[in-house]
């Protein structure tokens, strides 16, 4: 047909930018939405971990990358421990360390949303001993010796300070400041105690800095957990089971591993890499009263993937609302950026380019490195001393969870894995459009979303085809024909036959179209997609229509 005699128009009409086949995005930061994974490039992850295991750096690990609700990469490497040599599975139990904070914080924002406490509540409202807390200020004499002067806080530490790590409460296992040395000397972890007693021990120590002045990583989340216990009248694990763990089906997540059959599933680090360097022993098989909300939980891939998917979904999971929109916003909105008054120092663990919300790091900018580290704006993440690590990338509708037990190798491995994951992303406008098109078509009209329907035809020469189609139709293309291609009928239900204006005869796929264009077709699926994806998917439908005409 003469639609396909349009090759001469390529030189005089700007062409569809998306016409190129699969193309890598420029760099690994801010990859365009709708990226997909190249399985050949994902294979590099297995090569990397294979080397880590065979060279004896780690006993093993498990990684899950999930996009659009389905695994795109799900592999275990090595063994859960070098003694038993048992394989790692989704039921293997890992010590989370600071990834516990994400769980604690998710439950805390639920309670905030319910009005159980408020961000501006002083800590002393719930734990009175904090009314007497002091701030440690280092003074240096002329001979270089340092002393610690205790001064009153400029304001009381609040719940907000606890949740964004600005209370001045610290850890004693990193850094050499006099306050941190005081933490180490206090023997904080001696004996069998609960969160109530632990909070009293912390209250006797000086704050590292004035409340709200500096992001300071420490036991703030444990003090937050004690407030949660006070207002709920329950233990921390009871609260977390009621509000998060049971609703998500996280049946193997908790603070202790008591059952002998479960203890056999506990992953262990290499014998020469078993010091997690957190100032205390972390043996979840030994019963004790304390439940460290800042770093004491264990979990499995089967469980933590549910938590990650809930975060990726914006607070919902399998039809259940776990976090309301307001609670999710609290959990994921930066609280330490410009205007917050919060300073950062060498120990700002969220990292360059990241802010910190009420329990999670959130990507706010490219950072200072060139090129920027991989990821997308709005990305959420956290990790722990054992090497466990997760990233939520809502722009790409993707998360990944890495579980491992390697205190010394973890940072190098985490950086490498994230780099490899984002290097495996590709932007293929037609394939992305096809995926979104099939999903949208199925949700709106019950069409075949498995790639077996009309949209599975081979693409031929889309720019020329589309250009000629627009030219022959006076600048519009017939949406009834597109509908016929998809549904086998020329009649569009409740709308009749309509024509949609071509969005710029140049067919620029990134034109910001209003969602009311072609509403009968995209009213259900379009609004949650980016305008770019909507345009690409509609172009794909027309291309498929043209291909079918050519095949006749």
Residue 27's pLDDT is 84
Exposure class string for 207-231: b at 16+ Cβ within 10 A, else e: bbbbbbbbbbbbbbbbbbbbbbbbb
Regions of the chain where pLDDT drops below 70: 1-26, 428-552
367 exposed, middle or buried (CB, 10 Å; 0-12, 13-18, 19+)?
Answer: middle
Q: pTM of the entire structure?
A: 0.76
Phi, psi at residue 71, to the nearest 5°?
-65, 135
Are the beta carbons of 421 and 29 closer than 8 angstroms?
A: no
Q: Dig out the tokens for 472 from the structure.
A: 């022959």
Are the beta carbons of 121 and 431 closer than 8 angstroms?
A: no
Residue 540's pLDDT is 52
Residue 539's pLDDT is 54
Are the beta carbons of 220 and 336 closer than 8 angstroms?
A: no
Residue 93's pLDDT is 98
């Amino acid at each position: 047909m003469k639609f396909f005699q349009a090759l001469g128009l390529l030189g005089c009409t700007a062409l569809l930018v998306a016409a190129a086949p699969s193309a890598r995005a420029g760099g690994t930061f801010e990859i365009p939405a709708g990226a997909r994974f190249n399985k050949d490039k994902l294979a590099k992850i297995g090569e990397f971990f294979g080397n880590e295991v065979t060279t004896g750096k780690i006993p093993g690990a498990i990684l899950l990358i999930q996009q659009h609700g389905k695994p795109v990469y799900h592999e275990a490497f090595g063994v859960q421990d070098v003694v038993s040599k048992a394989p790692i599975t989704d039921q293997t139990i890992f010590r989370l360390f600071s990834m516990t904070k994400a769980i604690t914080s998710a439950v805390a924002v639920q309670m905030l949303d319910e009005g159980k406490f408020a961000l501006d509540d002083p800590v002393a409202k719930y734990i009175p001993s904090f009314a007497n807390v002091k701030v440690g200020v280092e003074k240096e004499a002329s001979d270089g010796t340092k002393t610690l002067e205790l001064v009153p806080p400029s304001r009381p530490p609040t719940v907000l300070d606890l949740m964004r790590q600005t209370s001045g409460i610290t850890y004693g296992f990193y850094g050499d400041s006099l306050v941190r040395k005081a933490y180490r000397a206090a023997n904080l972890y001696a004996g069998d105690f609960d969160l109530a007693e632990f909070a009293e021990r912390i209250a006797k120590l000086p704050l590292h800095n004035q409340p709200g002045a500096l992001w300071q990583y420490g036991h703030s989340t444990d003090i937050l957990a004690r407030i949660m216990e006070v207002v709920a009248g329950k233990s921390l694990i009871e609260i977390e089971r009621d509000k998060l763990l049971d609703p998500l089906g996280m049946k193997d997540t908790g603070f202790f591993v008591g059952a002998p059959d479960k203890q056999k599933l506990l992953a262990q680090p290499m014998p020469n890499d078993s010091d997690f360097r957190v100032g205390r022993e972390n043996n979840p098989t030994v019963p004790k009263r304390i439940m460290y909300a800042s770093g004491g939980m264990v979990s499995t891939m089967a469980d933590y993937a549910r938590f990650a998917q809930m975060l990726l979904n914006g607070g919902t999971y399998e039809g259940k609302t776990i976090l309301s929109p307001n609670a999710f916003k609290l959990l994921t909105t930066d609280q330490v950026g410009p205007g917050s008054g919060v300073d950062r120092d060498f120990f700002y663990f969220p990292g360059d380019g990241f802010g910190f919300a009420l329990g999670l790091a959130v990507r706010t900018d490219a950072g200072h490195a060139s090129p920027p580290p991989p990821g997308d704006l709005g990305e959420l993440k956290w990790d722990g001393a054992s090497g466990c690590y997760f990233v939520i990338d809502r722009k790409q509708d993707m998360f990944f969870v890495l579980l491992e037990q390697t205190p010394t190798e973890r940072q190098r491995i985490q950086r490498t894995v994230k780099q490899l994951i984002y290097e495996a992303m590709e932007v293929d406008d037609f394939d992305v459009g096809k995926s979104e098109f099939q999903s949208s078509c199925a949700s709106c009209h019950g069409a075949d979303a498995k790639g077996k329907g009309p949209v599975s035809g081979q693409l031929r020469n889309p720019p020329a085809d589309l250009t000629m189609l627009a030219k022959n139709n006076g600048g519009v293309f017939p949406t009834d024909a597109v509908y016929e291609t998809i549904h086998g009928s020329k009649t569009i239900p409740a709308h009749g036959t309509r024509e949609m204006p071509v969005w710029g005869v140049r067919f620029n796929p990134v034109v910001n179209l209003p969602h009311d264009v072609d509403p009968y077709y995209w009213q259900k699926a379009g609004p949650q997609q980016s305008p770019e994806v909507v345009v690409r998917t509609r172009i794909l439908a027309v291309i498929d229509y043209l291909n079918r005409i050519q095949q006749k």
